[in-house]
A and B are shown apart, each in its own frame.
Chain A
Amino acid sequence: MLDEDIILRALTIAGDLGADYVEVRLQSDKNYSIVFRDGGLEVYGYEINEGLSVRTLVNGSMGFATTDSLDPSSISEVVEDSVKLARAQGGGSLRLAEIQSYSISYEARVKERFEDIDLDEKLRYLSDLDKEVVSLGNDVKVAGRTFILDYTLTRKLIATSDGIMVQSVIPRFEIMMYVVLSYNGRSMTRFTGVGGSMGWEGIRVWEPKIFFRDNIKALINVIKNAKEVEDGVYDIILGPETSGLAAHESCGHPFELDRILGREGAQAGESFITIDMLGEQISSEEVTVIDDPTLPYSYGFYLFDDEGVRARPRYLIKNGVINEFLMNRETAVVLGLESNAAARASAYNREPIVRMANTYFAPGTHSFEELIEDVDRGIYLKSFGEWNIDDRRYNMRFIGQEAYLIEDGEIKYPLWNPVFEITVPNFYARIDAVDKNLEFYPATCGKSDPGQGVPVYIGGPNIRIRGIHVSKGV
């Protein structure tokens, strides 16, 4: 499938047709998915999605064409389509940032190939998980359980007319759980999971049975014992799951330069962050937010992006200062900068656009106990249920799922669905402490039209925010 001849043929044809820039990507995604619901196999699925995309720049206009037919005539035709579409726009002003040329190949190696594990062993594992979860219920009814075991092996070969050739192989494995709990007129629904860039060995590394068991135990405590929150002002401690989501939604997305420049204006939206805010202090010196594709074994792992640019950690906020944006070659050139390798495409038939990888608050120096002991009246918001944020990424909301009242430096009892709704500048201005823990959770980040869901990690340390209004909602 990853045939260099196909790539080189496409590059040559595009050059002959007068394209100023050509980028060709062959991509194959092989996915295995098992849905196990209420103790039985719902479906076992296997998917192969592979093909070729050709992105061309002609007189400052961009064309993009894809095909899943890899015979010579189809390849010629898809290149012609791409150039024709670019040319039909009548000329534009798009340029791409400069890049070094190189040829490189890399692979995220697994210890146990997912494909080599028999299906019946996977089903036994899921059955054990299900039994474990059901057994925890007692007087709380675990009314619905769905486990999804999902593995994708992605192979790519990317080449550009400016001398890039990058070949990669990346596995991604996750186990997700959706549960419905009911007790005494109350109900709770929760999605959560573990995962990363690993093979079947992830089962031992992430210990899903322990992770899901602890989740369910905590939810049982909440559904049985949670009290209504009193509307008022609290100090908030966000757990790693929630601080990670906050970093992703309120820093990662508004720092995407395509949004800042308006390219997602009718789709994902724009940003309250503007270019002239680079260098502005928006948080305390305790706060650094990193997006790092190079984290080994992470769900958002890659070493070269889908324009072939070498990846590195991006320090979006550094010691409270807006430090850099997420950029691809198309947007970086507007600022006179090099791309920082944020171009990702979710499949062969999607254009590479600016995306996150693994976004998190950098750990600080405090212990978790130190964050708590300094709080007179607060809420420990460990996990979330509902969340959203407006399309300028200015106005965000989380509702706690596993959340506890803090009084006089001690965690007291669980709270029922405390609503935390705040502007993003206000959020960053009020963070005063970050602990030294670091946990990650797999997630799929959605953006654009047609939609592109890409694998990411959200996570981080516990962070403390002072003096926030919390309510029980409407």
Chain B
Amino acid sequence: MVEIDVSELAQNILRKVLGFADDCVVLVESSKSHQVRFSQNRIDIAKTWNETSIGIMMDKDKKVNVIELSLPSVKDIDEVLKAAEKALVSSQPKPIYAELPPISTGIKRVGTAVDPDIRDKPEKLIDLVHIAMESARSVGAKRSAGSIRGNYVSIALASSRGAEVLRDEYTNVYMDIRAFLDGEETGHASQLSRSIAGIDAEELGREAGEVAKLNANQVVFEPGRYDTLITPNAAASIMNLAARASSGFFFLMGMSFFAGKLGEEVASSNLNLYDDPFNANSRLPRLFDDEGVATRKNKIIENGVLRGLLHNRFTAKAFNSELTGNSGWVVPHPWHLEVEPGDYTRDELVTELRKGLILNNVTYIRFQNYVTGDFSGIIRDGLFYVEGGEIKGAVKGLRFSDNALRILKNVVALGNDVKDIYHWWLEFGTSVSTPSLLVKNCGYTRAFGY
């Protein structure tokens, strides 16, 4: 491939845009990614992506336009920018405008966030797939499906608010496997790392296979409210909802169940939620956000109180807040969520639960009302019932149907079993480090005719 000098490209475009705009930021992201997908105990496809995206945000007279380009358009950049200049003239000022902030300077990563094998050796991913499939089979899975994906990302940001071009690069790799027995008995396991060495494919296959076996002999359960141990797999999805709801943009748009609750109690007093790009396994370990502001660890929920929102320059202005280093140009978002662990081991949480359910994963979450937080989600890869502090068996047919705020407020205990989770369905590509949560009175419904 032609090597792209991302810094030079960003600076060249910045210079051109500043010929007609008051301010501009150019974000060039060049990536090389590989993925291997498998199902039915065989590889379906192996993929490689070579991509360079160029984002340009330009301001003039408090009007703000955004352009996203892929590489072939660079040869037509003068024509593209001519159209952009015309669009800026016709555009309207933003009702809530904030100037582009000065870029943070002197940002340096301690150590490296890059494993070059992720970029250069896709065959290693193929080897890991074979290991995981074989491991699942060895513990009794009839078949398995999943994928492994590795990404190398190189970023350059040039802004009219600083002479320096900010640079960053990192890698990440994620593997998941779903093991199947005969029908609805499935088990899922996933791992997230910044290096290939951080993926234990054998352990993943074994874990998925063991969970699938636990899922045998499922019984249909009555709908109702049950105390529930929510494992990290499922807790990641729920905390992702909370992080989404704390984006300043969704707050303004009326798509947040936290709206109007800043500074108020929105969760149990034992719950602390942070956004921390510097977590060792953050999938997006970004040094600076899309406006060139240094990223940092932000408190979202502290002792159950909603302490802060995630901001870009516009939402920060709207809420009279400082910048938080979470800019997406339109929608500010988290980089990596952390739920502060508690003291309980997983076994102690099961004992504490006494009678109730263990929810192992939840997906396909949809809201009836974004403001109230009423939603339901699909239970996947394990729902187990517990009596007398012991797991008695597997449950089928129920749907997780509740309210996001009620769940957050009903957290009565947290485990010390933190896992780093990434699911392909999580928004913004955000990963989550979370322990298990013990939650009182979770709602479950069942379909008519099940």
Contacts and interface: CB of A to CB of B under 8 A. Distances in A.
B248 interface: no
Nearest to B208: A266
A390 B378 contact: yes
Contact of B445 (A65, A118, A266, A419): A419
A390 to B, nearest CB: 5
A45 B68 contact: yes
Contacts of A211: none
Interface in A93-123: 93-94, 118-120, 123
B29 to A, nearest CB: 12
B369 A92 contact: no
Contacts of A385: 367-369
Interface in A180-194: 180, 182, 187-189
Interface in A159-206: 178, 180, 182, 187-189
Contact of B91 (A38, A73, A119): A119
Contact of A92 (B42, B64, B254, B379): B42
A265 B91 CA distance: 46
Interface stretch (B19-27, B142-150, B264-272): B142-150
A388 B376 contact: yes
Interface string B102-122: 000000000000000000001
Contact of A187 (B4, B40, B371, B444): B371
A471 B445 CA distance: 10
A474 B71 contact: no
Nearest to B65: A44
A18 interface: no
| A contact residues, range | 35 or more
B97 to A, nearest CB: 10
B448 A468 contact: yes
B446 A66 contact: no
Interface string B360-384: 0001111111111011111110000
Contacts of A261: 40
A118 B365 CA distance: 39
A251 to B, nearest CB: 17
A88 B143 contact: no
B95 A40 contact: yes
B371 A47 contact: no
A391 B378 contact: yes
Interface stretch (B48-56, B274-282, B344-352): B48-56
Nearest to B329: A43
A392 B52 CA distance: 37
A128 B177 CA distance: 51
Contacts of B126: 88-89
Given A266-B178, A421-B446, A397 B80 contact: no
Contacts of A399: 368
Given A118-B90, A395-B447, A395-B450, A62 B46 contact: yes
Given A119-B90, A189-B254, A48 B424 contact: no
B64 A426 contact: no
Nearest to A451: B424
Given A262-B40, A468-B448, A474 B443 contact: yes
Contacts of A41: 63, 91-95
Contacts of A66: 47-51
B444 A46 contact: no
Contacts of A28: 72
B405 interface: no
A74 B147 CA distance: 26
B1 A73 contact: yes
B20 to A, nearest CB: 15
Interface size, B (range): 35 or more
A454 interface: no
A39 B34 CA distance: 43
A88 B402 contact: no
Nearest to B38: A266
Contact of B447 (A1, A144, A423, A449): A423
A51 B87 CA distance: 25
A449 B147 contact: yes
Which among B255, B364, B379, B448 has the highest number of chain A CB atoms within 10 Å?
B448
Nearest to A119: B90
A78 B34 CA distance: 13
B122 to A, nearest CB: 6
Given A265-B180, A474-B223, A449 B72 contact: no
B344 to A, nearest CB: 27
A77 B34 CA distance: 15
A220 to B, nearest CB: 16
Contacts of B197: none
Given A74-B50, A386-B375, A143 B145 contact: no
Interface in A3-44: 28, 35, 37-44
Interface string A459-473: 000000000110101
A469 B122 CA distance: 52
A386 B374 contact: yes
Contacts of B68: 45-49
B39 A265 contact: yes
A46 B330 CA distance: 13
A92 B43 CA distance: 8
A68 B52 contact: yes
A266 B176 contact: yes
Nearest to A81: B48
A388 B50 contact: no
Nearest to A77: B1
A47 B67 contact: yes
A146 interface: yes
B444 A391 contact: no
Contacts of A404: none
A69 interface: yes
B253 A37 contact: yes
A396 B67 CA distance: 39
A295 interface: no
B399 interface: yes
A48 B73 contact: yes
24 contacts: A28-B72, A40-B92, A46-B67, A46-B80, A47-B69, A48-B80, A49-B68, A68-B50, A70-B72, A88-B126, A188-B369, A189-B370, A263-B39, A390-B378, A390-B379, A392-B184, A395-B399, A421-B445, A421-B447, A423-B447, A426-B447, A449-B37, A468-B448, A474-B224
Given A40-B92, A47-B69, A78-B1, 4 more contacts: A48-B70, A81-B50, A449-B149, A450-B424
What 9 A-B pairs have minimum CB-CB distances, sorted nearest first?
A144-B254, A265-B145, A426-B449, A40-B95, A180-B254, A474-B443, A386-B368, A449-B424, A119-B90
